A and B are shown apart, each in its own frame.
Chain A
Amino acid sequence: MTGVATMTKPLLEVEGVNKSFPGVRALRDMRLELRAGEVLALVGENGAGKSTLMKLLSGIHVPDSGTFRLAGQDYRPQGPREALELGISIIHQEFNLVPHLTVAQNIFIGREPRRLRMMLDEGRLNAGTRTLLERLRLPLDPRAVVGTLTVANQQMVEIAKALSYEPKVLIMDEPTAALNDAEVATLHELIRRFVRPDTGVIYISHRMEEIRRIADRVTVIRDGEYVGTREIASASTPEVISLMVGRAINTEARPENVRPGRETVLTATGLSTKALLKDVSFDLRRGEILGFAGLMGAGRTETARALVGADRLDAGTITVHGRQARIGNPADAARLGIGYLSEDRKRYGLLLEQDVQANVVLAALRDQFTTGGFVQDGAARARAKEYVDTLRIKTPSLDQTTKHLSGGNQQKVVIAKWLAKDCDILIFDEPTRGIDVGAKEEIYTLLNELAGQGKSIIMISSELPEILRMSHRVVVMSEGRVTHVLDSDEATQENIMHYATLRPDENPADAAELGLDKAGQS
């Protein structure tokens, strides 16, 4: 119980809110209470429903049922504009800034001071911005072009913009994802200055450390439902994490540990990129499903893209079948038998306007299905048919345009593409994203079959139950580093979350803990 904050009346109340999207129940009977004068942390796994809640509060979507109340009044914004006018400002994880405009132009976009109705009054714009920035004690130049600012300063512009509406409630979605420790401290100071007896902040974050420093209470949501709220002072970090992951785990369905005698097919040593990855090392064994767990932005997809040469490595070596490999582009990776199945199938995996056959034979076309530069349609058809049968792809014909297939069948088409290319190392990035429950099971069965046939699989997933169920071993990443590699018998949701939330870069305590298995005891 921390002083004044708890005495005051609720500022924002969410009650019994439901929201469904076609086929997905995003929020179910959601509750939340933000008190005046407090900072409320909102935590939950990826996909728990935080973004949906934000979108409802900002008026981008309308709830199916339930009520919002802001300072006792019914709150029903019809759009982002109205949400701002009614007193709720939201800073999204992705910046909504126009890089070519100045700080002042960005802050007052859509409500620029004018002269004679038609003409922009840049003088007043800059003066107004200067006053605002001084009041917020932000050392920014109103005339600076936003694109030239550092990420931290861009974040500050977002905050200035949000606060310029003089909101009652400020909502911040992962505001520190791109900030270093000093910048986080500046941000927290700004938040403390903003919080007055009649205002409040909802602070969405994964980082318990930070939440402890800034928040008064923490609300946990999971699978679109409210789980509970705790006073920060009395809640332990393991308690909050166990509230976040919550679910009962079917331990019996887990795969056995990979036998040590198995041959290593791929070794990554010290992979680093300028953007994110730092010294990423791991090995992949024959017939193994190696899970990659971590929070969004931990560097899992980046690791995969680096492995197949889609992104440039600045340091590190990759060894495939005992030989050091030079992988400069995906063509090199494909030659070495490494196939990448992107999380965004539609963008990176499929030719949506082309038919099943064209997609299946795409990668192997030149090696296997051509003579003298011409496509051997018969052979290509036969092979595509073979995969449609063995992978149980549900399609009316080989000529069906892939955009008309369901998500699960689209995924199988991409798998077929790599099998046709004779790949024995398959990297699955979120293999079941956007796939319905029944088809998920089929994909799991398929992955196990593939591993059983001696294919080696890297499986990146944000769904912990999926990671636990499928992986022989689990590589956990945080902030571009591998923080731990867990065998399947030591992998638990709590354990994985613990390593996934470490901030090894800026926090010496976390760094010291690397490799020490501490979280499992609580």
Chain B
Amino acid sequence: MSKEKEQTQGTPISRRNFLKGVGTGAVAASVAPTVLVGAETAAEAQMGDKITRAEIKLNINGKTYEVEVESRTTLLSVLRDGIDTGGERVDLTGAKSICDRGECGGCTVQVGGKAVYSCMTLALEAEGKEITTVEGLANGEQLHPVQEAFVQHDALMCGFCTPGFVVAAKSLLDQNPSPSHEEIKEGLAGNICRCGTYPFIFEAVKTASRKIGG
């Protein structure tokens, strides 16, 4: 029986399979420093509420959130759907899940100053690191130069991919303050826009680069 059939026909997922799905190494490495709650044996950790859980602290946009996560919980899912232990929603919905597998960049955020796909980053991996989302770039009403340039050049249409592009562009300029046209294309190659705003995104990044003083 094929794996696909097994899943769709309802064989309960096993711990082995879900660890396979999330990358065993990352889980093992990241779980170690946290407090494990709930079941630990393979037999117990089969489904739903028996899955291994941990309480972790995440520093997002300068604010600390305490959230309970499973080993499989992605950073993206904490940002968008997480509820901290005090009952408050994290509610940072700027980062989007578009492909859910690291193909589109819609979920791009910075972790430890580096752009990452938050759909491919386990929440556990982000513990202890500074997490910056698109919501954390503006200073009050004062937009980040990248954001300002995106608005000025109309580097967005429906806007669904925009948060990912803004963070990716900011990260590019962090590393290379004055990228060439080709370097901008390469730097943003991990992001997809279906409306086709690319030409104006390139212009926006050039303008932002000038503003930042690159």
- On whether the two chains bind one another, the answer is no
Interface residues of A (CB under 8 A from B): none
Interface residues of B (CB under 8 A from A): none
